[in-house]
C-alpha cells in the first residue's frame, strides 16, 4: 500500500488537471455567446426620427477608393454618418475631409476582403468606425454609420 500511494496521488492530480483544463477551454472550443467589443451591438441606440430630422443630422462621404490588406483587392465605398444632433453634424462636416477620410482609408487598408463579405462583416466595420471616429469628434457623437455603396473587386 505504501508503494501505491504516490501513484494514486499522481493519478488523482492528473485527473483533476484534465477536468480543470476542460472547464477552462470548453467555451473557446465550442464557441460562446458573449459579444465581441467590435460587434455592432456596441452601436449607440438611435431614436426614431422623421425624414427631415435624418437629413439634418446625416453627413455623407463618397468615393472612398483604396486597396485592402490583400493588395490584390480594391474597394470603392460610400458612407452616410448619422450624428446625434445638428451641431455635431456641423463640426463633422468641417473635419470630414482631413480627419475622417484618413480614418476610413486606414481601417479599410487593414481590412481583409473576407471581412467585408456579408451583413455581419459590414456591421463589424461600421462598429469599428464608430468607435474610432467618436474619438476624433469633440462635439456630439456618430450614432450610426450606413454603407450606402460598396464595390469590392480583384485587380
Query: In the predicted model, is pLDDT for residue 134 greater than 50?
Result: yes
- Would you call 32 helix, strand, or coil by DSSP? coil
Element (H, E) at 28: helix 5-30
Query: In the predicted model, is pLDDT for residue 116 greater than 50?
Result: yes
Where residue 146 falls among pLDDT bands split at 50, 70, 90? very high
Dihedral-angle region of residue 68 (phi above 0 means left; psi in -120 to 50 means alpha; beta otherwise): beta
Query: In the predicted model, is pLDDT for residue 35 greater than 70?
Result: no
Where residue 151 falls among pLDDT bands split at 50, 70, 90? very high
Separation between Cα atoms, residue 64 and residue 70, nearest integer Å? 17
Amino acid at each position: 500500500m505504501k508503494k501505491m500511494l504516490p501513484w494514486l496521488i499522481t493519478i488523482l492530480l492528473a485527473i483533476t488537471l484534465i477536468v480543470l483544463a476542460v472547464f477552462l477551454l470548453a467555451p473557446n472550443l465550442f464557441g460562446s455567446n458573449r459579444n465581441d467589443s467590435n460587434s455592432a451591438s456596441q452601436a449607440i441606440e438611435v431614436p426614431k426620427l422623421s425624414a427631415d430630422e435624418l437629413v439634418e443630422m446625416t453627413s455623407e462621404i463618397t468615393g472612398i477608393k483604396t486597396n485592402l490588406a490583400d493588395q490584390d483587392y480594391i474597394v470603392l465605398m460610400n458612407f452616410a454618418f448619422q450624428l446625434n444632433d445638428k451641431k455635431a453634424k456641423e463640426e463633422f462636416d468641417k473635419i470630414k475631409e482631413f480627419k475622417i477620410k484618413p480614418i476610413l482609408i486606414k481601417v479599410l487598408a487593414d481590412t481583409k476582403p473576407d471581412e467585408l463579405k456579408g451583413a455581419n462583416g459590414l456591421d463589424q466595420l461600421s462598429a469599428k468606425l464608430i468607435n474610432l471616429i467618436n474619438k476624433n469628434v469633440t462635439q456630439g457623437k456618430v450614432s450610426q454609420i450606413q454603407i450606402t455603396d460598396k464595390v469590392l473587386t480583384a485587380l
